[in-house]
Structure 1
Amino acid sequence: MKTVFSPLHAGHSGQMELVTSAIVPGFEKPSRAEFIKARVESEKLGPIIGPAEHDLTAAKRVHEAHYIDFLPTVWPEWVAAGFTGSAMGFTWPTRGLRGDVPPKRVDALLGYYSFDAGATFVEGTWAAIKSSYDVALTAAALVKGGERTAFALCRPPGHHAGAAFMGGYCFINNAAVVAQWFRDQGAKRVSILDVDYHHGNGTQEIFYRRGDIQVLNLHGDPMVEYPFFLGHADERGEGEGEGFNINYPMPFGTNWDGWGASLEDACARLAAYAPDVVIVSLGVDTFEKDPISQFKLKSQDYPKIGRRIAKLGLPTLFVMEGGYAVEEIGINAVGVLTGFEDH
């Protein structure tokens, strides 16, 4: 299995985020990707290659063009306005406020284009976002070219980013980008299997009214877990998309028995859909020691995930998402990949 990786991810470093009652250093840090890369190397998973450069056309197939055009301007405008520290919004156009008129100030625009203050900017953030996008498309091309699988070691992650909003450490939705890219390359149907602890609200929002891209999410119950405002079991798609959005919200403390049963059901539904390619939004924050999550999977469970996905017998692209217990993130993420390879 080839891994695609860019060192430019490290430019997104030292950013702050708003969590309940405090502004703290970002949990989404460069060491996450470096631990995974080191584990890929130590396990001899396969070659690690750099990404090819891509323009932003593929991003604008799933995101609003004005949103994508905004992202590279954030840090220069933040500095020009005389602001210091991490660039983050502080005002959001919620119910009763106008969301149809973008303001002109960068701090206000950050609120306009986000749903939380977790996707913040420092000087190297845009270069990292772009490199993560390039990594995903380069890995997708490997699968399109005939590889059974590939691993896009993306950082920052993407699955919380919607058509015109960022949040949850996510700016461009890499899984959504490559799903649309496969469709544009001739795939009739694509499935996205999101195994991250947190619901992939951005992915759901982008494809909710479409039947050509199936979205399956295994995640913490949004009644009590971030991102709170999507991810319920009754959200099954609308119009042409009805029945093609499938959520598996689970309670705090879920271990392999409950989580694995949801995975089994999701894989059965995926197989019945019969996609041409599977994209796995690979989050490993389901781990029992993850600092911001509440599931109880153990390191020995992650190869089981890979083996079950491999049983589908479909071309599969793994796209890295969350996981914040950094000392074990490499063991767990690469465990999924070696489980897939060993099947």
Structure 2
Amino acid sequence: MKTVFSELQLNHRPTFELSDGAMAPAVELPARAEFVRDRIVETGLGAIQPPDAFGRGPLERVHSRAYLDFMDGFRAQCEREGRTGEVFPFCWPTAGLRADVTPRHLDGQLGRYSFDAGTPIGPESWRAAKVSADTALSAARLVKDGERAAFALCRPPGHHAMSDRFGGYCFVNNAAVAAQYLRDQSAARIAILDVDYHHGNGTQEIFYERSDVLFLSIHADPADEYPYFLGYADETGTGEGAGFNQNWPLAIGTDWDGWSAALDAACGRVMTFGADVAVISLGLDPYEHDPISRFRLQSGDFTRLGARLEKLGLPTLFVMEGGYAIDALGVNCVNVLSGFEDAR
């Protein structure tokens, strides 16, 4: 299996994050990608190639122009306002405040274009995020051109990024950008299966009113875990998208038996949907020792996950999302990919 990755993605280097109401050391670190890359080389999974540059066009297919304009101009605005290092949003247009205005001040704009305070953004963050999107697009093109599967080693991750807001460590929704690219390249139906511990709220928001992209997510119950305000079982799509969104919110402490039952149900939905391509938002944080997650999957279970996904019999794009047990991340990631390959 071919992997797409760029060293430029390592230039997003957060040092702190706001987590559980306190400032803490950041967990979405460059080492996440480095450990995965090194394990791919060590195991001989396949070639690693750099992404091509796709420009802004594919991003505009899923993100608003106003949001992209803000992100494109973020670094220059920081310099004009004398900001250095990483910054955090802290004020949002919540109920009772106006959401129809975009302030001139950077702090107001940060609040307008974000949904949490836990996502630091620094001088190189947006460049890294755009290369991460190019990584997903380049891997999607491999699948479009005939590869049975490809792996986009994306970092920073993407599935929390909404059409016009960043959050959850995510700036560009890589899986959504890749799925839309595949649609634009003539795939009639795309199934996105998100297996990250946290609900892919951004991907759901982007496709919630569409019937050509099926979104399925297996995650921790948002009554107990981030993102708290999306990811419930009664969210099934609206308008043309009614019935094309399904969530499996699972209890804290779920192990492979409970998790794999949801996986089988999700795979069944993919098959009845008649997808032409499967996009897997590959979060590795269901792992039992992940520092910010509370499921109980073991390393061997990720091999079984890959084998189950291969049974779909579809061209498959794997897009890296979360996973923060850095020492085990490379093993768990490659277990999924080799499990897929070995089941063929």
TM-score by length of 2: 0.98
Matches within 5 A, 1:139-218: 139-218=139-218
Return 5+ residue gaps in structure 1 as ranges.
none
Are 2:257 and 1:257 equivalent residues in the alignment? yes
The alpha carbon displacement at 1:15 in A equals 3.8
Residue type of the alignment partner of 2:190: V
Distance 1:221 1:38 in 2: 33
Distance 2:223 2:126 in 1: 33
Q: Report the counterpart of residue 311 of structure 1 in structure 2.
A: 311
Aligned length: 343
The alpha carbon displacement at 1:21 in A equals 2.6
The alpha carbon displacement at 1:67 in A equals 0.4
Q: Report the counterpart of residue 295 of structure 1 in structure 2.
A: 295
Q: Report the counterpart of residue 89 of structure 2 in structure 1.
A: 89
> Which one is further off, 43-52 or 78-87?
78-87
The alpha carbon displacement at 1:172 in A equals 0.5
TM-score by length of 1: 0.98
Conserved in 2, the CA contact under 8 Å of 1:78 and 1:107?
no
- Can you list the C-alpha shifts for 1:227-266, whole angstroms capped at 9, x where unaligned? 0000000000011111110000001000000000000000
Residue aligned with 2:109, SS: helix
Distance 1:47 1:77 in 2: 39
Matches within 5 A, 1:7-156: 7-156=7-156
- Can you list the C-alpha shifts for 1:40-81, whole angstroms capped at 9, x where unaligned? 111110000000011111111011111012112222212321
Conserved in 2, the CA contact under 8 Å of 1:129 and 1:172?
yes
> Which one is further off, 264-273 or 115-124?
115-124
Poorly superposed stretches of 4+, deviation over 6 Å: none
The alpha carbon displacement at 1:297 in A equals 0.3
The alpha carbon displacement at 1:148 in A equals 0.2
Are 2:291 and 1:286 equivalent residues in the alignment? no
Conserved in 2, the CA contact under 8 Å of 1:15 and 1:121?
no
Residue type of the alignment partner of 1:135: T
The alpha carbon displacement at 1:168 in A equals 0.2
Conserved in 2, the CA contact under 8 Å of 1:74 and 1:121?
no
> Which one is further off, 27-36 or 85-94?
85-94
Distance 2:136 2:38 in 1: 19
Conserved in 2, the CA contact under 8 Å of 1:191 and 1:279?
yes
Residue aligned with 2:188, SS: coil
Residue type of the alignment partner of 1:48: I
Residue aligned with 1:102, SS: coil
The alpha carbon displacement at 1:91 in A equals 0.3
Residue aligned with 2:57, SS: coil
Conserved in 2, the CA contact under 8 Å of 1:216 and 1:247?
yes
Distance 1:262 1:21 in 2: 31
The alpha carbon displacement at 1:118 in A equals 2.3
Distance 2:126 2:240 in 1: 35
- Can you list the C-alpha shifts for 1:75-108, whole angstroms capped at 9, x where unaligned? 2212321223312111011111111101111122
Return 5+ residue gaps in structure 2 as ranges.
none
- Can you list the C-alpha shifts for 1:282-341, whole angstroms capped at 9, x where unaligned? 000000000000100000100100000000100000000000000000011111000000
Residue type of the alignment partner of 1:242: A
